[in-house]
Structure 1
Amino acid sequence: MKETDLHKYQLACVQHIIEHPFCGVFVDMGLGKTISTLTAINYLMFDYCEVNSVLVIAPKRVAESVWQEEAEKWEHTKHLRFSKIIGTAKQRIAAVMETKADIYIISRDNVAWLCALYGGGKLPFDMVVVDELSSFKSYKSERFKALRGARPYLKRLVGLTGTPAPNGLIDLWPQIYLMDRGERLEKTISRYRERYFRPGQTNGHVVYSYDLMSDSEYLIHKKIEDICISMKADDYLEMPFRTDNYIKLRMPEALKKQYDDFEKNKVLDLISAAETIEQEDENGNSVFVEKPVEVNVVNAAALSNKLLQFANGAIYDEERNVFPIHDIKLEALKEIIEDANGQSVLVAWTYQFDRDRIVEYLKKYKPRELKNNKDIEDWNAGKIQVMLAHPASAGHGLNLQAGGSIIVWFGQTWSLELYQQFNARLYRQGQQNHVVINHLILQGTHDEDVIRALKAKDKKQNALMDSIKAKIDKYKKFM
């Protein structure tokens, strides 16, 4: 392909990157962020002579394949030289210090290591590209702290993402800080919160979530619009037809009673963890009262996990031993694969026992787990009928649309970002077929809470907490 094949919206992204040394490209999945950025890099290196070397920070699998493969597809970028800073520490050092390249690529998990290698300050790159900038949304993470330390020495930084605020605008501050060092959205996360948010869910002095103030969304967007370009796929692409299929699976009465008892006992276990404390009454006498249950994100997530495990068909005990309960979802998955008549099916699994049980149950279809580039190549070549992938490891940058158009969510995820990103592996530009996204939902279980939250595009943490609190209220009468 030639540079003249680039779309107008892609050329707009190229121009934005060239004109703004520190900027964000918030462009939907499938709109070609990678080739737009490579084109801008090519101009900056060989026409404007502003840049000599570029560091690309990306998810592991994207770092291993996507950038170099994309460059090789295009006439105007195939000459770019790449060095992948992956492997052992010795291999990574050789890739960055002993290899001459135009673009160096490193996984985001090794950013802190790289910064430490250069004393935590000046990196030997003129420009940094952060692919999937939203992975730097935590101001407490080592990767953010490391890149923040190197930021003053950079000539250019570009942040790429299709989901800059998957859990709300509270996530935006660290990402914008890497661009402007606090010029637009305050110098610290505390100031940012004070300026644009008010505390949401709290427990004493502990704040679990923040809510936007009335005019904050508009103000934040205005503050960053000069350095961030934003595009939605629906505005520029004719996307393939998509069907979201919610397959509601019934439980036998005995199993339904088993689930209800399990849910009730798990919730009561949480309630019974409430402390009994001694305090004085109005007459100065000692009395013992029960301290209210503190439902925080940690124990709410633990309870949610147990309920979702049951819905998927097995549970872990405290020693991570697996106890199978039912095969309802396995049977439904098998039916989908049989009905596909040889078409390839991409299956999203949640727990390791999901993966292991699917491999065993469907062994006649020779299911494979997505692990490396060979798996991607074989999938796109139509050589794999059933591919298993965890949403967290197959959620960003992988082009799988050539290999199939059927997705099955065996288990459900609270993360809207992982959900959208995983679906976009098949539902994206270049897909030639009608995409069907199947969700296996065990009726009357926690699966339904998750699906409701995703449909409403709720924030992960708020939806999870609300769901668990509703269950606690339901079972308090049994105490």
Structure 2
Amino acid sequence: MGLGKTLSTLTAIADLQLLEDLGKVLIVAPLAVARNTWPDEIHKWDSTKGLSYSTILGSAQQRSAALQQTTDLYITNRENVPWLVEYYGRKWPFKTVVIDELSSFKSPQAKRFKALRKVRPLMHRVIGLTGTPAPNSLMDLWPQMYLLDRGTRLGLTIGDYRRTYFHPGMQSGYVVYNWVLNPGADKTIYDRIGDITISMQSKELLDLPPRTDNIVQVEMTPKETEQYKQLQKDYVLPELGDDGVTASNAAVLANKLLQLANGAIYDDDGKTIKVHDHKLDALANIIDEAQGQSVLVFYQFKHDAERILKKFPQAKRLDTGSDDVHRWNAGKIPMLLAQPQSAGHGLNLQAGGHIIVWFGLTWSLEYYQQANARLMRQGQTQPVIVHHIITKDTIDERVMTVLQGKARGQAALLNAVKAQLGE
């Protein structure tokens, strides 16, 4: 992350065009990255300014019109992939395809993967870019590698891949709940894909400023703690909202507990119930200490953003369809709110600030790492500070442990819930 994959790819395309016929070139990226990052990088560098492009975004009519243009690059978002495949069918025109954030194609059941798989034989060259290739486990690699080599290295099906490199973990009869990597299988997998993979780490190649991780702990009142424990134990809080708050299963409970730790929670009718302002007060202290420097705040739930916006009039929620990215990098937005799911990949925000605040945590290590890399990347000139506002004796502490690398993924979060229930 942060090593300039976009620029490297654009430069390679510009150079290759002088040597061979690349045909039509398609770039698939997250929406914000397709709209902002790729066009910005094309305009920014002398080596890529000569590349023309068309963005395949907006309504179906706008996308169709953009496809009619004669240009070097066609840039679209990953959600449009099924539409694009259906639009062209067997007349797929793109010989060269770049998949930015290849890890977002890690599910073999996803429509976007199935659509690209259908037209993969019609592509001559496929390039995949990602800073987090296996965010949950090496099981995530098979769909990504299949789009590159059509199963040559890791097997023609996910079943082949599983049977070769994994064995069943938890299971009930014929139902397997998780797969465990065979001893030494990781090295075998790395060897198999090594000839078409370039792996680099920014800490080895760039002289980046230091990063400081800071834990800002807040504490709930005895009454609030009692409410938290009741929800944790009984999956229900009858006294909150008109109809109370209930959690139907462990996954829902995990989200409800995270909301409660943040200071507000949705009741059964979807209404926001405010419980406390401890994290808002901690955020106010961080803003004061920043002394006018811009701050990037990551939130998880909509009611978090709404409460932050109400308390801090200078704050602006990131709209990737506007010029917010440019305004932030120009120092015109003092406090930018972003959700890691939508802003955690590909956006260049390092010019606008060096202070991150996690108001609400995400269980996803991929989203966490990618979000922090929006500032901790090439071009950053100041030491990066990452504040984590943690509510004491809540699931926040468990999630922080997950993110620190002692465990991974959604399963780890659910295990954290079970651990708290056990206590």
Aligned to 2:150: 181
| Deviation, structure 1 residue 215 | 1.2
| Deviation, structure 1 residue 203 | 4.1
| Deviation, structure 1 residue 188 | 0.6
The reply on whether 1:211 has 2:180 as its aligned counterpart is yes
Deviations 1:205-229 (Å, cap 9, x if unpaired)? 3333221110110110000001111
Aligned to 2:329: 380
| Deviation, structure 1 residue 461 | 2.5
Paired residue type of 1:65: N
Aligned to 1:89: 60
Q: How does 1:319-334 map to 2 (within 5 A)?
A: 319-334=269-284
Paired residue type of 1:356: E
Q: Check whether the contact 2:227–2:237 (CA below 8 A) recurs between aligned residues.
A: no
Partner of residue 140 from structure 2, selected from 152, 171, 191: 171
User: What SS is found at the alignment partner of 1:140?
Assistant: coil
User: What SS is found at the alignment partner of 1:244?
Assistant: strand
Partner of residue 38 from structure 2, selected from 67, 90, 94: 67
| Deviation, structure 1 residue 338 | 1.2
Aligned to 1:391: 340
Determine the C-alpha separation between the residues in 2 that align with 1:256 and 1:268. Answer: 12
Partner of residue 107 from structure 2, selected from 127, 135, 138: 138
Paired residue type of 1:468: V
Aligned to 1:277: none
The reply on whether 1:410 has 2:359 as its aligned counterpart is yes
Determine the C-alpha separation between the residues in 2 that align with 1:122 and 1:202. Answer: 44
Determine the C-alpha separation between the residues in 2 that align with 1:257 and 1:472. Answer: 14
User: What SS is found at the alignment partner of 1:230?
Assistant: coil
Paired residue type of 2:294: S
User: What SS is found at the alignment partner of 2:356?
Assistant: strand
Determine the C-alpha separation between the residues in 2 that align with 1:34 and 1:457. Answer: 31
Q: Check whether the contact 1:81–1:102 (CA below 8 A) recurs between aligned residues.
A: yes
The reply on whether 1:44 has 2:19 as its aligned counterpart is no
Kindly report the root-mean-square deviation, in angstroms, between the aligned alpha carbons of the 2 structures: 1.6
Partner of residue 106 from structure 1, selected from 76, 82, 89: 76
Larger deviation: 170-179 or 208-217? 208-217
Q: Check whether the contact 1:122–1:150 (CA below 8 A) recurs between aligned residues.
A: no
| Deviation, structure 1 residue 122 | 4.0
Instruction: Give unmatched runs, 5+ long, in structure 1.
Output: 1-28, 270-297, 475-479
Determine the C-alpha separation between the residues in 2 that align with 1:157 and 1:267. Answer: 50
| Deviation, structure 1 residue 37 | 0.8
Equivalent residue pairs, number: 413
Determine the C-alpha separation between the residues in 2 that align with 1:314 and 1:206. Answer: 38
Determine the C-alpha separation between the residues in 2 that align with 1:139 and 1:122. Answer: 24
Deviations 1:437-467 (Å, cap 9, x if unpaired)? 0000000001011001111252212312321
Aligned to 1:116: 86
Q: Check whether the contact 2:365–2:409 (CA below 8 A) recurs between aligned residues.
A: yes
Q: How does 1:300-449 map to 2 (within 5 A)?
A: 300-363=250-313, 366-372=314-320, 373-449=322-398
| Deviation, structure 1 residue 416 | 0.4
Determine the C-alpha separation between the residues in 2 that align with 1:197 and 1:86. Answer: 40
TM-score between the two structures when normalised by the length of structure 1: 0.84
- Report the identity percentage: 52
Q: Check whether the contact 1:240–1:428 (CA below 8 A) recurs between aligned residues.
A: no
Larger radius of gyration between Structure 1 and Structure 2: 1
Paired residue type of 1:453: V
Partner of residue 163 from structure 2, selected from 194, 197, 203: 194
Paired residue type of 2:284: K
Change (3 A) 1:211 1:415: same
